Structure 1
Amino acid sequence: MSANWHRGLLAGPQAALVEQWLSSPLLVEDLSWGLTDTRVLRLRSFGRDYILKTAGSANLHLGREFKAHAGYTAPLLAHGLTAALRHEDRALRLLLLDYLPGVLCERTSSADDPEVHEQAGRALQLLHGQYAKVDEGYEKNFIANGLKWLDAEHRIEPSFVAAARKIFADYRPEPVLVVPTHGDWQPRNWLIDQGKLRVIDFGRFAFRPAESDLARLSAQQWREHPELATAFFRGYGQDPRELRSWPIVQLREAIGTAAWAYQVGDTAFEIQGHRMLRDALELF
């Protein structure tokens, strides 16, 4: 086996550990986005494919993946809807998962297919429905994080910044019910294989209100196609969006999208974030 089978994408100790996990690993392709230091590598060993993830110590996404796969993906696994964790090493920042076949829904006809959205609703209910607790401080922290994004570098219009700050200041946080959430529930993290949906990427996993997982769908696919939301809720079983809190969820998601996308240089996503912000402010 070549000593550089990973083409320099792994540190020496990381490569050595992968060689213990897999016999004669072969790097098939680098699936990383390149926006952050997260590495997503498709590996092959004796005819079987895997996904290896790694990231630097300051990268929060990998830690969230560790947490998700360690305790909260079981209901999805039981229905064959996500990848099984095979190995992990938190010190070396490595996560090895089964490779899932399929085509990403994003930018395909599946992204606007009601049947796919109904499947996505059923899958999300499995994730959300396994556990719930009341969080006394969630909304207070949620508002604080929104203000932190506004204090960071971004290209949000000053009038929108002022309006958002006032909305955050006027909002009165309350205890809320939180559940295990994916954090980026949308077609770019859905695979379709022979008509069946599967879910990837738990890098934004956290305990949040259930409605938070609907923010990106509402701002994207459902914005012009409300029938997709109807199909989704048919699968999910109900609409978890709350009249009191949903507008603030949309506002916070829009600010985070616009600021984060600017910071990592994702221009298209930044443009979407500014549109989301305009839409969100109209809710108040």
Structure 2
Amino acid sequence: MRPAKPLPSSLRAWAEQAVGPLSCVRDASHPRENSRVWDITDSLGRRFFVKQSPTAAFYERETFGYRSAVPALGFGRAPRLVDTDARRLAMLLTAVPGTPVSRLTLTVPEHRAAHRQFGALLRRLHGTEKMPAQGRRAAEAAAERTAADAGKHLARVGDRLSGNRRALVRRAADHVLRLADLLTPGHIHGDARERNALWSRSGPAAAPAGMRSSGRLSMIDFERSRYAPVVQDFVRLACGPWQDRDDLRTAFFQGYGRPLTDAERQALPCFAALDAVSCLVHGPAHGEHEVTERGLRTLDRLERGTFL
């Protein structure tokens, strides 16, 4: 078990300027070296989170996301930004109720309801209908950048990839470049997976219209949010819980309100291949075996033609 990361005194003093004296501080970081998150409670019993971004780029993405796109999700569907400190790359966020779906044992109806709400919330976040012109340009550039990064990852991955898999990744990158201007743009979450979706059974039953359920989904962790093709927000779900659960994918797109376009159907396995080779670079370099395994599983499914 890793040692707890104490909240630095300077960050504690900064948080107390906004919410008053703290009665409780708990390390809530992910089990990786550069994760810095603390669950704090003030003297009135209100919970907040202090998050220190690992890089300026993540800080800028997350604060921009909270200010521009996240409010579209609605009250209580995501944390609210209380204060920021650019010098410390720090954010003070309200807490939202719930437990990550990845840590729960849900009934089949609950699990479907969670993915249906996940789809509805991502459709709101993507905001495609109100996409500014600069957002559309940024989304197309993001697709091209993702494809270009594949070459760098292939150079770093070494002999962990066979010749056939290298060719598969190169074909995927080429196809993304051909599809870039056909893909629907949006403000994506960037790490849309069950770990970042909180399910609350005790919350109000205010599911999106037409989606009544006994639970409520909220979303957290927007440090990878950015303008990009919206199909990129489906990759981690397609490489995770949807692998053996077509019903969850169906429920998600019911909530999303539309099926994949023809271009998105072609692009999804391509982006998955590019994500997989990235996993094979990042996972071994940081000792994150689950990330490495995800990349290998994805490439195996793509090779066997069983990805979708």
Q: What TM-score, normalized by structure 1, do the two folds share?
A: 0.87
Q: 1:166 is matched with which residue?
A: 170
Residues 186/201 of structure 1: CA separation in 2 closer, same or farther (3 Å cut): same
1:192 is paired with a residue whose SS is: strand
Q: 2:106 is matched with which residue?
A: 110
Q: 1:156 is matched with which residue?
A: 160
Residues 235/177 of structure 1: CA separation in 2 closer, same or farther (3 Å cut): closer
Q: 1:188 is matched with which residue?
A: 195
1:8-157 superposed matches below 5 A: 8-10=6-8, 12-46=9-43, 47-56=45-54, 58=55, 60-76=57-73, 78-110=74-106, 113-129=111-127, 131-132=130-131, 133-135=135-137, 136-152=140-156, 156-157=160-161
Please give the alpha-carbon distance, in whole angstroms, between the structure 1 residues aligned to 2:118 and 2:168. Answer: 31
Q: 1:260 is matched with which residue?
A: 282
Structure 1 letter corresponding to 2:125: L
2:222 matched to 1:197? Answer: no
Report Cα offsets for 1:107-159 as digits up to 9, x if no partner.
42239611111111111111113533533533321211222222335773232
Report Cα offsets for 1:143-189 as digits up to 9, x if no partner.
11222222335773232553145315643434244200001111111
Please give the alpha-carbon distance, in whole angstroms, between the structure 2 residues aligned to 1:97 and 1:9. Answer: 15
Please give the alpha-carbon distance, in whole angstroms, between the structure 2 residues aligned to 1:272 and 1:109. Answer: 21
1:95 is paired with a residue whose SS is: strand
Q: CA RMSD in A?
A: 2.5
Q: What TM-score, normalized by structure 2, do the two folds share?
A: 0.81
Please give the alpha-carbon distance, in whole angstroms, between the structure 2 residues aligned to 1:142 and 1:180. Answer: 16
Larger mean CA deviation between 107-116 and 212-221 belongs to 107-116
Structure 1 letter corresponding to 2:68: G
Structure 2 letter corresponding to 1:134: R
How many residues are aligned here?
276
Q: 2:185 is matched with which residue?
A: 178
Structure with more helix by fraction: 2
1:180 is paired with a residue whose SS is: strand
Q: List runs of 5+ in structure 2 lacking aligned partners.
A: 202-214
Deviation, 1:275, is: 0.8
- How many percent of aligned residue pairs carry the same amino acid? 25
